Amino acid sequence: MSTEPNSIRTPAWYLAVPLFLLFAGCATAPDPGQYQNWQNVGYDGFAESIDIVAGSNARDCGFYNLMNKDARKAARQVGLGCAEQAFSEGVAFKFGTVRLPIDSYAYEVLIRSPDGENWLIVYDIIVDGTDPQIWFKKCESIAFPRRNGFYEGKDCIEYDGSNDPVWNGT
């Protein structure tokens, strides 16, 4: 308590709420319907690069905005079911998500190419559009464990796509 007469103490939440609202305004999630047909995914050319790797006949298991509750549910039920089935059939496919881990958008894509290569690709960019980074993993196999509801790469190796003409749009 203050020793000054007639002083008023400001509750901490008076300061925290405006800061939260300020940050939330910067980190507004993309529109959940924005990803129909993989439009506006990642950077310009990202979806086209995915299509090159997946092949023209790849099964499209969808791209889901995990920041949207309904899309999260659909990703688990529809998208992952599609990816798991395509993988078990040995069919080329693509499946992707976007989420907001802390201060960046993480676009994650799982691809099985026509020649049976399994790719895990993560494109990460700060919410203000700075510091883009991309990681590639080429995996021997993909597991779809029920305990975490998504997928895991098995026996993966890092791939340096920086000089690969397919991924030069980063």
Q: In the predicted model, what is the mean pLDDT of residues 61-75?
A: 90
In terms of DSSP bridges, do strands 133-143 and 152-159 run parallel, antiparallel, or are they unpaired? antiparallel
Give the whole-angstrom CA distance, residue 131 versus residue 135: 13
Q: In the predicted model, what is the mean pLDDT of residues 114-126?
A: 95
In terms of DSSP bridges, do strands 93-99 and 59-65 run parallel, antiparallel, or are they unpaired? parallel
**Between the CA of residue 8 and those of 12, 14, 15, 19, 106, what are the distances in Å?**
13, 13, 14, 21, 44
The better pLDDT of the pair 91, 162 is held by: 91
* Residue 57 forms part of a structural domain: yes
DSSP for 76-100 reads IIIIHHHHHHHHHHT--EEEEEEE-
Check pLDDT > 50 for residue 166. Answer: yes
* Residue 26 forms part of a structural domain: no
Which has the closest alpha carbon to 77: 57, 62, 94, 90?
62
Least confidently predicted of 25-39, 44-58, 81-95, 155-169: 25-39
* Residue 21 forms part of a structural domain: no
- Residue 14: its pLDDT value, please? 34
Alpha helices in the chain (DSSP H): 12-26, 46-54, 69-74, 80-89
Residue 73 pLDDT grade (very low, low, confident, very high; cuts 50, 70, 90): confident
The residue length of the chain stands at: 170
* Residue 55 forms part of a structural domain: yes
Domain range enclosing 87: 32-167
* Residue 13 forms part of a structural domain: no
The better pLDDT of the pair 61, 146 is held by: 61
Which one-letter DSSP state was computed for residue 68? S
Residue 128 pLDDT grade (very low, low, confident, very high; cuts 50, 70, 90): very high
Asked if residue 56 lies in contact with residue 124, where contact means CB atoms within 8 angstroms, the answer is: no
Give the whole-angstrom CA distance, residue 89 versus residue 106: 28
* Residue 24 forms part of a structural domain: no
Give the whole-angstrom CA distance, residue 80 versus residue 97: 11
* Residue 85 forms part of a structural domain: yes
Least confidently predicted of 34-38, 55-59, 100-104, 147-151: 34-38
* Residue 6 forms part of a structural domain: no
Residue 52 pLDDT grade (very low, low, confident, very high; cuts 50, 70, 90): very high
Number of domains in the chain: 1
Which one-letter DSSP state was computed for residue 111? E
Give the whole-angstrom CA distance, residue 23 versus residue 57: 41
